Amino acid sequence: MSEASDVREALEKIFNADTGIYAQRGFQRRVGFGTRPALVHIDLANAWTRPGNAFTCDGMDTIIPAVQQLNEAGRAKGIPIVYTTTAYNTKGGSSDMGLWVKKIPVEVLEIGSEAVQIDSRIAPLPDEHVIVKKRASGFHGTNLSSFLTAHGVDTVILTGVTMCGCVRHSCEDAIAEGFRPIVVREAVGDRVPGVVEWNLFDIDAKFGDVEPLARVLDYLNGIEAFTSRV
């Protein structure tokens, strides 16, 4: 058994025990699915999805096919599909990296570079929205909330990376902005073994619903096709 598998197994035992504590205290309620969803793919750009980068995440052999299936189902119903990437002007006095560069190597995320382009295996269609963000959450300092509201969205289906950072913060902001967050278990990842499991457990207890891919696909296949509101 691999080190990552050992960590996942150990965490599963811990979380199964902790589930009882949360449930007794009234946590782990369900926000449920609404009637007008959007897919929001967090930072599935080359710097995160392809090997050999500082930001490279594990699990793309599962995440990419899951996102492909979600896109196919979502496009068939005409729902909004949004991608985020994180990118900066890294040069001199015009840099917008802020203090984050003191903690992580965001200097490699130069705006316009191949590193910050959405992975071609899940490339957005010409009419799909791509947001360039500067912070962890897809909502922070962007038009994501207003875009979703304009389209009458009530449910945000989240995929992407990283589970401990940008996906988590996007989920927290989604519920704060009045959207039902649904995190697709097979479509999220991270760089460190165990981080995905811990954050899925914690999000499911406090901020959104963690659902398996099959259930999310059943939901998308069962909704009525979108008619534009904008």
- Asked if pLDDT for residue 55 goes beyond 70, the answer is yes
- Cα dihedral: 47, 50, 53, 55 (round 10): 50
Report the half-sphere exposure of 62 (CA within 13 A, side-chain side): 15
Domain that holds residue 201: 36-222
At residue 14, the pLDDT reads: 66
Pick the closest to residue 132 from 195, 43, 9, 22 (CA basis): 43
Q: How far apart are CA 111 and CA 89, in angstroms?
A: 6
At residue 229, the pLDDT reads: 63
In-domain check, residue 171: yes
Helix (H, G, I), strand (E, B) or coil at 205: helix
Q: pTM to 2 decimals?
A: 0.91
What's the structural domain count of the chain? 1
At 135, give phi and psi (nearest 5°). -125, 180
Count of helices and strands (H, E) across the chain = 7, 6
> Could you give the angle at which helices 60-76 and 213-222 cross, rounded to 10 degrees?
10
In-domain check, residue 19: no
In-domain check, residue 25: no
In-domain check, residue 31: no
- pLDDT above 90 coverage of the chain, percent: 80
Which are the catalytic amino acids? Answer: 166
At residue 137, the pLDDT reads: 98
Q: How far apart are CA 195 and CA 218, in angstroms?
A: 27
In-domain check, residue 196: yes
Mean pLDDT of the chain: 92
Beta strands 37-42; 155-161: pairing state: parallel
CATH number of the domain that residue 210 is part of: 3.40.50.850
In-domain check, residue 112: yes
